[in-house]
């Protein structure tokens, strides 16, 4: 299948700082990328849909000023957690939709720990 690379795989940051997570489609173009959040032993919850060249669409209850999404190219989307707090600690996962085939493939996830 297609390859989606997410970086970093884990990050520890201090409360109040911002953290940027990158999601790259390595061998295909992705007009749409999705950002999910997953708490321990729970399912994936969609946070937002990122469309190349336009503003992201956020799911209900997700603060767009807290979770900034930028999809500047067909192969890269970034999620910035601003002014992070311990309750933002979670596993963040992106997926990218392959324009050609239409299927969505997942990155390996980023474990964020805010101390």
Partner 1 sequence: GENVEQHPSTLSVQEGDSAVIKCTYSDSASNYFPWYKQELGKGPQLIIDIRSNVGEKKDQRIAVTLNKTAKHFSLHITETQPEDSAVYFCAASNAGGTSYGKLTFGQGTILTVHP
Per CB under 8 A, residues contacting partner 1 are 1, 4, 6, 32, 34, 42-46, 49, 51, 93, 95-97, 102-109, 111
Nearest to 111 by CA among 3, 5, 12, 4: 12
Cα–Cα distance measured from residue 61 to residue 17, given in angstroms and rounded to the nearest whole number: 22
Cα–Cα distance measured from residue 64 to residue 55, given in angstroms and rounded to the nearest whole number: 10
CB of 16 to partner 1, least distance (A): 26
Between 34 and 67, CB nearer to partner 1: 34
CB of 61 to partner 1, least distance (A): 13
CB of 31 to partner 1, least distance (A): 9
Nearest to 77 by CA among 2, 10, 7: 7
- Contact residues for 91 (Cβ-Cβ < 8 A; gap 6+): 37, 38, 39, 40, 109, 110, 111, 112
Between 38 and 82, CB nearer to partner 1: 38
Between 3 and 16, CB nearer to partner 1: 3
Between 19 and 56, CB nearer to partner 1: 56
CB of 26 to partner 1, least distance (A): 14
């Amino acid at each position: 299948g297609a390859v989606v690379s997410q970086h970093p795989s884990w990050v520890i940051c201090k409360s109040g700082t911002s953290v940027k997570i990158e999601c790259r489609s390595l061998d295909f173009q992705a007009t749409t990328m999705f950002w999910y959040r997953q708490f321990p032993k729970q399912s994936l919850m969609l946070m937002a849909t990122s469309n190349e060249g336009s503003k992201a669409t956020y799911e209900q209850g997700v603060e767009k000023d807290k979770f900034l999404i930028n999809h500047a190219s067909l192969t890269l989307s970034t999620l910035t957690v601003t002014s992070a707090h311990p309750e933002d600690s979670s596993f963040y996962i992106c997926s990218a939709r392959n324009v050609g085939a239409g299927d969505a493939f997942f990155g390996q996830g980023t474990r964020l720990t805010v101390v």
